[in-house]
């Protein structure tokens, strides 16, 4: 599988084309393994999601598609592409921001845990099994079956703390 940046590397200024390239390679592999069609629009939406490490809203993607690509895509078209990317484990939805971010570990299914900076809006994906286990344990103790989990933790990233 392809190599993504660590959370610390993602916070540093860098060329996002590496992130986009790795994400597209991973998506090709996931879709081939699952027998899913990775259409031109789905690929383009994934590229837009990976342009930075900041969550991006569907309407922002729609605006970019119209402006940069000359596509006259309707909101449902972008949402269908995002639904597909979510189903394949290639993006996560950040509910508190109504936005999407690329998944740094698409090779295995997992739930998302995110550190979201209130200042610069970077989102750092964690894959902490201890958090997932704690949630499952507490849910089980209450007779609750978890069907989905996204943990969103807001605060200030290291760079924004340093700058303050």
The whole-number pLDDT of residue 58 equals 94
The whole-number pLDDT of residue 106 equals 86
Across 144-155, average pLDDT: 92
d(CA 156, CA 94): 17
Where do the domains of the chain lie? 10-163
Q: For residue 81, give every residue at least 6 positions away whose Cβ sits within 8 Å of its Cβ, in sequence order, or none.
A: 39, 41, 42, 45
Q: For residue 109, give every residue at least 6 positions away whose Cβ sits within 8 Å of its Cβ, in sequence order, or none.
A: 89
Give the pLDDT confidence of 30-63 residue by residue, as tens digits: 999 999 999 999 999 999 999 988 899 999 999 9
What would the DSSP string read from start to end of 34-65?
Answer: HT----HHHHHHHHHHTTSSS-B-HHHHHHHH
Between 98 and 2, the higher pLDDT residue: 98
The whole-number pLDDT of residue 83 equals 97
d(CA 12, CA 94): 21
The whole-number pLDDT of residue 9 equals 57
- Position 20 pLDDT exceeds 70: yes
**Overall CATH class of domain 10-163:** mainly alpha
Q: Which of 5-9, 39-43, 59-63, 102-106 has the lowest mean pLDDT?
A: 5-9
The rounded percent of the chain whose pLDDT value lies above 70 is 90
Q: Which two tokens stand for residue 148?
A: 């989905």
The whole-number pLDDT of residue 2 equals 40
Q: Which of 6-20, 27-41, 49-63, 88-102 has the lowest mean pLDDT?
A: 6-20
Q: For residue 142, give every residue at least 6 positions away whose Cβ sits within 8 Å of its Cβ, in sequence order, or none.
A: none
């Amino acid at each position: 599988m392809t190599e993504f940046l660590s959370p610390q590397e993602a916070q540093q200024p860098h060329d996002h084309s590496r992130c986009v390239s790795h994400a597209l390679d991973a998506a090709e592999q996931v879709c081939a393994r699952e027998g899913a069609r990775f259409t031109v629009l789905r690929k383009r939406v994934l590229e837009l999601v990976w342009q930075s490490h900041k969550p991006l809203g569907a309407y922002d993607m729609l605006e970019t598609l119209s402006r940069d690509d000359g596509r006259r895509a309707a909101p449902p078209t972008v949402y269908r592409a995002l639904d597909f990317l979510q189903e394949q484990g290639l993006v996560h939805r950040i509910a508190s921001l109504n936005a999407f971010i690329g998944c740094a570990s698409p090779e295995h299914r997992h739930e998302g845990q995110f550190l979201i900076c209130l200042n610069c809006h970077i989102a750092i994906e964690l894959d902490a099994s201890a958090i997932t286990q704690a949630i499952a344990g507490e849910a089980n103790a209450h007779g609750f079956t978890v069907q989905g989990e996204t943990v969103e933790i807001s605060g200030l990233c290291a760079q924004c703390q340093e700058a303050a």
